[in-house]
Every structure is written in C-alpha cells, then in structure tokens.
Amino acid sequence: MPDAPHPPHRHISPQTVRFCPLCGAALAPKAMEAGKRPEMVCTGCEFVYYMTQKVVAGTIPWRDGRLLLTRRAIEPSLGKWTFPGGYVDWGETVEAAALRETWEETGLTVALGGLLGVYSYATSPVVIVVYRARVLGGTLTPCHENDRLEWMTPAEVPWDALAFPSTVAAMRDFLTRPDDGGPTAGSALPA
C-alpha cells in the first residue's frame, strides 16, 4: 500500500483557535487598550489567549571546511535542504534545544559557537534562533524528519533548493560573517 500523501501544513492562528484552553468557552476578539489590535479573550473566564510565535532553535554544524545540511522528509518543504533545528520545548532553554535538535536530527553532539542570527517574518508563526556549531562526536544518522544528511563545501550549498527564507538568510549570514573557524567572508554566495 503506498504511503498516504502528507496533509497540508497548518498553523494555529486567530481563525483556528476558537475556544478557551482553560474553561472551554468561546473566544472572541476584544480590544484590551484603545488603538491596539484586539486579542482573543474568553467569553467565560476572561482568559486572554495571546497569539504569540513559537521559538525554533537550530545549528549550522561546521567541520573540516564543510557545513552540514539535512534534506527534509516531511512537510513543509518536503525534499528541501535546511540546517538541523526544531521547536524549543516547554521548560527548555534555546541553547539546550539547539543541542538536542542537532543530536536528534543528525546523531552528532556539537558545541555551540556564537549566535549566528535570529530570523522572523510577519507571515510565519515562528522565530528561528540559529547558532554556529562545532562537531564534537557522534555518528551521522538521519531521523524521520530527514532522509539525507550531507556535508557540503560553501560552493556546494543548493541555494535553489533551500527549505525556508530563514534557511537562506542563515546560510548567507554564515558564509558572510565568519566566526568560530567558519568560512571566509562572501565565499560561495550566489550572484
């Protein structure tokens, strides 16, 4: 039996959250302050459900003149390339999440270098925090979220097949702002 197609990727938004997570009553837009955008407020217990972005932590591992990219085996951006990363769990620091996600998605333990950048977009429900990373050990092993892991030189980065705007931005920053033994400024950027 063939695999079922992936369902369309969906995000929580003011249009999809309709009931209070505390008491179950309906949520309704309500202006909390004059001139400010309305928030979703419970019509029963008056709990304010703030629509905030989720935090994603990731790394760009670097070793022997090559960086590690993963090819996504899930939606969104199935078949596209990105760096190891994922959501920060409740009670976890961003740094711990970056280390955990890198290990889960690649089998590698890394040491975080400097903060590469923080990327966010008005149309996306996530804020992406990316660190440079130095490989300490482990065995390169894909997981259910990726079907391929590949060490690439800066010249081999598949710019047209990168998964997200944040992937492109982080790769550009990684290649143009050298630090922690990374590439030299501007190496292998597309025209």
Query: Which CATH number belongs to the domain containing residue 47 in this structure?
Result: 2.20.70
182 CA to centre of own chain: 21
Task: Give pLDDT, residue 186.
Answer: 42
Residue 39: inside a domain, yes or no?
A: yes
Q: What is the pLDDT of residues 95-150, one digit of tens each?
A: 999 999 999 999 999 999 999 999 999 888 899 999 999 999 999 999 999 999 99
145: left (phi over 0), alpha (psi -120 to 50) or beta: alpha
Residue 140: inside a domain, yes or no?
A: yes
Residue 82: inside a domain, yes or no?
A: yes
Please, what's the largest Cα pairwise distance for the chain?
A: 59
Looking at the fold, whether 162 and 117 belong to one and the same domain comes out as yes
Looking at the fold, whether 104 and 134 belong to one and the same domain comes out as yes
Domain carrying residue 159:
54-176
Looking at the fold, whether 99 and 129 belong to one and the same domain comes out as yes
Query: Residue 141: helix, strand or coil by DSSP?
Result: coil
DSSP symbol at 19: B
Looking at the fold, whether 82 and 143 belong to one and the same domain comes out as yes
Distance CA 143, CA 188 (A): 29
Residue 190: inside a domain, yes or no?
A: no
- pTM metric for this prediction: 0.82
Residues 138, 144, 146, 149, CA torsion sign = positive
What's the burial of 46, exposed, middle or buried (CB within 10 Å: 0-12/13-18/19+)? exposed
Residue 4: inside a domain, yes or no?
A: no
Q: How many other C-beta atoms are found inside a 10 Å radius of the C-beta of residue 34?
A: 5
Looking at the fold, whether 72 and 145 belong to one and the same domain comes out as yes
Looking at the fold, whether 110 and 23 belong to one and the same domain comes out as no
Looking at the fold, whether 70 and 45 belong to one and the same domain comes out as no
Looking at the fold, whether 92 and 134 belong to one and the same domain comes out as yes
Low-confidence ranges of the chain (pLDDT < 50): 1-7, 181-189, 191
Nearest residue to 127 via CA among 30, 34, 28, 58: 58
User: Which of 5, 28, 51 marks a domain boundary?
Assistant: 51
Domain count, the chain: 2
Distance CA 130, CA 97 (A): 11
Report the CATH number that the domain containing residue 123 is assigned in CATH. 3.90.79.10
Distance CA 39, CA 31 (A): 6
Task: Give pLDDT, residue 108.
Answer: 98
